[in-house]
Amino acid sequence: MKTATFDPEPVIRDRRGFGTHPALQGLTPGEFAAFLHQHRLQCEVSVMQYDDPAAWLAWDAGGRGNVRHWQPVAPDEDAWFIGSIHDPGDGPVCFWLRSY
């Protein structure tokens, strides 16, 4: 498979605090995995419940609609950027990406 270039750009969060890099929007899990491989990207996931328990409790108590106040913590190493902040159904997550 040929390696493609990928331009990290800031994820624009909507009024509820969710947002996804335009190149990742609408991908199925299989397509996402292929995209990562094709673009030589590594993915780490931050789960709001563990990353920021206070923000998660506020989200859970507030009807589960708003994650604006959650500022996900990047993995320890350098060069990570946000690919997506979304709720797959069991609580908000942040997909951190970086080139390898």
Hey, what are 42's tokens? 């590594």
Mean pLDDT over the full length of the chain: 92
User: CA 42 from chain center: how many Å?
Assistant: 12
pLDDT confidence of 3, banded at 50, 70, 90? low
Triad 28, 62, 64: Cα angle to 5°: 10
Contact 99, 79 (CB under 8 A): yes
% of the chain with per-residue pLDDT over 90: 75
Report domain extents, the chain. 46-100
Average pLDDT over residues 7-20: 93
For residue 91, what pLDDT is reported?
93
Q: Are 45 and 93 in contact (CB under 8 A)?
A: yes
Q: What is the model's pLDDT at position 73?
A: 92
Pairing state between β 93-99 and 41-47: antiparallel
Q: Could you report how far apart the first and last alpha carbons of the chain are, in Å?
A: 16
At CA 48, angle to CA 50 and CA 18, rounded to 5?
175
What is the reported pLDDT for 85?
98
Write down the pLDDT at residue 2: 57
User: What DSSP designation does 29 have?
Assistant: H
